[in-house]
Structures are given as structure tokens and as C-alpha cells.
Structure 1
């Protein structure tokens, strides 16, 4: 794991969307490596392809999606310097069924008891009130912080997101993060 390879002792993990699922997975698999967890706009659930497609339909024409796609474009090494996707679309297409998976089920009984702050966009469909029971089962010390934004809350409302992460109610996470700097 990257944390051990870099000889890090305890980390504050923050991840957005699929990165949130990755951060949650690390916290559940190796809690001794994580001092605090900040998943942003995702929940510890498996989402079906049908649900993922419904969510994506709402964002298909949006600027953030276009920006995301643009960040995955690179110039080819040949003399034509054409643009291509960093991750081939065929790979993404072949992986769609598994993209929304979460490697744990609630019946596994695994938990991360450290300080956890779930940031979520109030206009997003990923971390809704319906996901809070699952969040609490996996992360019993989780606190929920809402930002008036969609799924891309960090880029839509960066100052609001920063303020949520420095709110006095989340002192345990802030003190851990400040002591690591």
C-alpha cells in the first residue's frame, strides 16, 4: 500500500467520489494507518449501473463533466500530436459494471472508529439522507457536513467546502490534521 511504501505512519485521508470509496476502503482495511477520514460525496454502498446511469444523465451536459473529461485528454507521442483519452474509453466501458462497487457489505461488521467527516453536496444524489444508516454502520463516529452544491462541491463551492472542514464541530479532525503539518 502507498502509505507503507512512503513510510507514513498515520494519514488523514480525503477523497472525492470514487476517491472517497478508495479512502473509505483503506480506512476499513488498515485503520491503524488512518488518523482521520474525509470522504466527499459518496457513501459506503454498492450502486447499481441503472442508478449510476440515472445520476450521469443529470450531469451529461454539465461543465464539470466536460472539465473532467478534458483532464483525461493527452496529446499522442506521434508526429500528429492528436488528442486521445489517457484511459481508453473501451477500458472505462468494460469497467462500468464494477465502478460503483464497494468491497464491504454491512453484514461484514467491519468498522473504522476514527474521526470521520462526510462532506456532501445537498444537490447531489450520491450521499443522500438514505445513505446515513450505512455510513453510521461502517463509520460510527461519522459527522455529516452539507455544502449547498452538487456532486462537484469542491470545485463548485471551494470556500464553503474549506469552511466546513475547519468548522469547530470537527475539532478532532482539525487537530489531527494541524498536528501533522
Structure 2
């Protein structure tokens, strides 16, 4: 068919997003169109140091539905046994099942920032009490490279649909960097 395909594993951490998400990207180029395209080995967006996770997390989330409940011992044990990590400077891969099992990690929230709620699980971390919560649908979208306006277009969908959309999506920043790389090569030719 006249196309040559090249692939590379790219982590979204390397493209400015604080989410560890390794994915294989394949680019197929028509041999007659771009003769100098050797492969994706020259692709590099490592100069885009990922941003601070705090730039993506909402500081004032108080809706109880996003917090780990006191009557959820399996989740509390998974956190205590480090099977679910506490988000410090990056998240792990966002999936389509954020609310059911939080493999990307949980966010610690100071007790004083949440109205008193005895239904929420308190955990002691570094000798300090915290509530723990999952990332919100907006945060999931932001961590996939979408912006607030993109979220506004779909915010009336149920949370599970937004998590599914985010989890099935390509990190926008990675795709933008690949496209920039291809355009750069076309200009050099």
C-alpha cells in the first residue's frame, strides 16, 4: 500500500502530564510523501517536564461521594497495605473504573478542609489525620490533557461516563507532540 509504520512507547509523564501512562503509538507514513521519516526514535518530548500534580487537583472538593467511606474496609486495607497509593506528585494510569477501584491512587485531604462527616474514613499519614478521596471527573479530564472547556461540554454526563471517556482516551499532550514532530519533519524535507 506504500506506507511504512513506525512505533514507539511514550509515557505521558514525558509530555508534561503528571500521569504515568505508557502507551504504544504507531505512525504510518506514505513513502512518497515523506521520504526522510526514518522512525519515531528521533521523537522526543522529554523537555516537557511534567507539571506539579497540584496544578490538576481541585483544592476545595467536599462532595462526600468522592471520599473513601468509613464502612469500606477493603478499600481502607488496600490503602494501608500500599496496594492503592496516595497521590503525591503523579498519578498512575487513569482507567475506566475510577470509582470502583482507584488504581491511579487517592488524594489526601486535610480534615479541616472538609465539613465534619462521620461517614468518611480517617487515616493517619505521617502522624497527621486525613480524609482520602478519589480524583474527580474534572481532574481525570485535566490529567488526560483536556481543559476546563472540554469538561464543561460533557459535565452533565454521569461520572462513570466521564471516567470511561477519560480512561479510554489518548493523552492530548502526547498526540500534540507527535503531530508537532511530524510537521517538523515535513518542514525539514
TM range (shorter): under 0.3
| Max Rg structure | 2
